[in-house]
């Protein structure tokens, strides 16, 4: 983060003097409100010094105070230091009331102001660090796992509780919901974290090879068995064995796995020796195991053995408000990885993300964002860029209403800031009447002050 200060000052002499006072900063300047807002958007300064007497009416503080409000509405974390005339305490106090960090009276002692600005920056940095910590805490309850919905936070809590135990754990969830990610998290939080995490995908290996993959084989066990080879179970000794797609395990191997879970010994293919192995077994499947049991495709006794604790991972469509959080995080990651400049989601993209069903869950979401980041040429990713349609947004009327209400209430506040608190002017800006403005303010419980003339 570059140290940047915006100096809003219409006196060219003073502007120059201040430029030299802030040697550690990149200094950008503006002479009036429009210039200040343009610079704010462009450079995102952490600190602003703001002369309250700005054109077109440098004799009064009204333009300065309006500028202050607009700055804080756009960038509420900015530390604004207000510079006032030497006997203008009243406006100085008003500025503090509006959210300025400090006021400073003319004539300006550049050296002293330099020290104050350094302090302001230190404070800004501390607060920013704090904001980041809070953000991270909320979004990443466990390392690398993004979760904000009550549904997923509950899953994370369960994983945390189960991790220190030796209980076999069964993760159930649709494809792409994060089963493998959570299995790894469980391992990392367990006393076996220093041991290996060995994943084997029962659906990806042909039945004929699966047995030797899992249990290993002795030299000469079958044609081509040139040397003794240990299997995944043995390889995971001291650590965690992750049986992915356990529902696809063929029945004969289910029996052999059951025996291992009961006796905690294995026999390699072609061997007779019983080898004790110490592993924690975590399994996952997207299949409906109970149904599979009914159909005779899965052993009921094994089901209970592998699922001492069963954790259901909800699909995205059941996680309240999480789709757009996941999307923003993947966007940030892709921008970093692909070294793209600033790139954001358009409003219709966010709406589409929140209303889409995500049958492929987190994996689909990550892929769509990645593809959009690669293909988008402008500064914004639209719903179309994500190859999502926007016409199904009506399927979530509640959500959409909230979006509308939020947009409306923030438009009211912005207009009011633009108009320096003048309700008639603010209503004009929005193309509505004063009574409508008041009615809407009441509806959204906005505090618009008593200055409505």
Q: Least separation, in Å, of the C-beta of 341 and ligand ATP?
A: 24
Shortest reach from residue 324's CB to ligand ATP, in Å: 13
Q: 176 touches which of Mg ion, ligand ATP, none (CB within 5 to 8 A by kind)?
A: ligand ATP
CB 288 within 8 A of CB 312: no
User: Cβ 375 to ligand ATP, closest distance in Å?
Assistant: 20
How many angstroms from the chain centroid is the CA of residue 447?
30
Query: CB of 170: closest distance to ligand ATP in angstroms?
Result: 13
Query: At a CB cut-off of 8 Å and minimum separation 6, what does 304 contact?
Result: none
Min. distance of Cβ 248 from ligand ATP in angstroms?
11
Nearer to ligand ATP, 40 or 386 (CB): 386
Place of tokens 């100096």: 7
Enter the tokens of residue 98: 């509006």
For residue 298, give Cα distances in angstroms to 135, 179, 282. Answer: 43, 20, 17
Tell me which residues in 264-303 interact with ligand ATP (CB under 6 A). Answer: 286
d(CA 317, CA 364): 13
User: Which 124-183 residues touch ligand ATP, going by CB under 6 A?
Assistant: 145-147, 173, 175-181
Residue 180 near Mg ion by CB under 5 A = yes
Shortest Cβ distance from residue 407 to Mg ion (Å)? 38
| Nearest distance, CB of residue 102 and ligand ATP, angstroms | 41
Using rule CB under 6 A, residue 401 touches ligand ATP: no
Cβ–Cβ under 8 Å, residues 405 and 446: no
**Residue located via tokens 């391992």:** 187
Residue among 64 and 176 whose Cβ is closer to ligand ATP: 176
The verdict on 368 binding ligand ATP (CB under 6 A) reads: no
**What does 178 bind: ligand ATP, Mg ion, none (CB cut-off 5 to 8 Å by kind)?**
ligand ATP
Residue at shortest CB range from ligand ATP: 178
* 315 sits near ligand ATP (criterion: CB under 6 A): no
- Give the count of beta carbons closer than 10 Å to the beta carbon of residue 153: 15
217 vs 330 by CB, closer to ligand ATP: 330
Q: Which residues pair with 169 in a beta bridge?
A: 282, 309
Bridge-partner residues for 281, per DSSP?
Answer: 241
* Largest distance between two CA atoms of the chain: 98
188 interacts with Mg ion by CB under 5 A? no
Say how far apart CA 352 and CA 354 lie, in whole Å.
5
- From 72-80, 185-193, 213-221, 362-370, give the range in contact with ligand ATP by CB under 6 A: 362-370
Question: What is the DSSP pairing of strand 380-381 with strand 265-266?
Answer: unpaired
Regarding 362 and contact with ligand ATP (CB under 6 A), the answer is: yes
Question: What is the Cα gyration radius of the chain?
Answer: 31
- Indicate the residue among 140 and 180 with the shorter CB distance to Mg ion: 180
The H or E element that residue 200 is part of is strand 197-201
**Do residues 283 and 167 lie in contact, with contact meaning Cβ atoms separated by under 8 Å?**
no
Point out which residues bind Mg ion (CB under 5 A): 180
Point out which residues bind ligand ATP (CB under 6 A): 145-147, 173, 175-181, 286, 362-363, 366
């Amino acid at each position: 983060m570059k140290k940047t200060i915006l100096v809003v000052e219409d006196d060219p002499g003073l502007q120059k003097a201040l430029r030299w006072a802030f040697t550690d900063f990149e200094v950008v300047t503006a002479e009036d409100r429009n210039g200040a807002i343009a610079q704010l958007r462009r450079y995102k300064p952490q600190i602003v010094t703001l002369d309250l007497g700005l054109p077109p009416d440098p004799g009064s503080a009204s333009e300065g105070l309006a500028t202050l409000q607009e700055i804080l509405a756009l960038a509420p974390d900015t530390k604004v230091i207000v510079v006032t005339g030497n006997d203008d305490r009243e406006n100085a106090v008003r500025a503090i009331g509006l959210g300025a960090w400090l006021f400073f009276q003319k004539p300006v002692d550049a050296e002293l102001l330099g020290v104050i600005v350094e302090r302001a920056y230190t404070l800004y940095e501390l607060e920013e660090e704090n904001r980041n910590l809070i953000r991270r805490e909320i979004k990443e309850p466990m390392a690398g796992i993004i979760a904000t919905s009550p549904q997923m936070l509950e899953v994370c809590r369960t994983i945390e509780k189960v991790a220190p135990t030796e209980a076999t754990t069964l993760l159930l969830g649709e494809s792409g919901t994060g089963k493998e990610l959570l299995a790894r998290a469980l391992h990392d939080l367990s006393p076996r974290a220093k041991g290996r995490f060995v994943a084997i995908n029962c659906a990806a290996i042909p039945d004929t090879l699966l047995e030797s993959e899992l249990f290993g084989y002795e030299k000469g066990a079958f044609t081509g068995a040139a040397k003794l080879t240990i299997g995944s179970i043995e390889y995971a000794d001291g650590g965690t064995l992750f049986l992915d797609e356990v529902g696809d395990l063929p029945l004969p191997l289910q029996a052999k796995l059951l025996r291992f879970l009961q006796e905690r010994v294995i026999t390699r293919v072609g061997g007779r020796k019983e080898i004790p192995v110490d592993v924690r077994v975590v399994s996952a499947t997207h299949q409906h195991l109970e149904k599979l049991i009914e159909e005779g495709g899965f052993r009921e006794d094994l089901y209970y053995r592998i699922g001492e604790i069963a954790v259901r991972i909800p699909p995205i469509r059941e996680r309240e408000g999480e789709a757009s959080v996941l999307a923003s995080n993947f966007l940030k990651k892709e921008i970093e990885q692909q070294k793209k400049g600033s790139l954001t989601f358009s409003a219709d993209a966010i709406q589409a993300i929140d209303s889409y069903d995500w049958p492929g869950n987190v994996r689909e979401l990550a892929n769509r964002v990645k593809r959009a980041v690669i293909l988008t040429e402008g500064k914004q990713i639209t719903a179309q860029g994500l190859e999502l349609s926007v016409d199904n947004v009506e399927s979530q009327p509640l959500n959409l209403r909230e979006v509308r209400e939020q947009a409306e209430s923030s438009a009211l506040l912005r207009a009011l800031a633009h108009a320096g608190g003048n309700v008639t002017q603010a209503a004009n800006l929005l193309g509505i009447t004063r009574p409508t403005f008041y009615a809407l303010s009441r509806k959204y419980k906005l505090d618009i002050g008593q200055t409505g003339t």
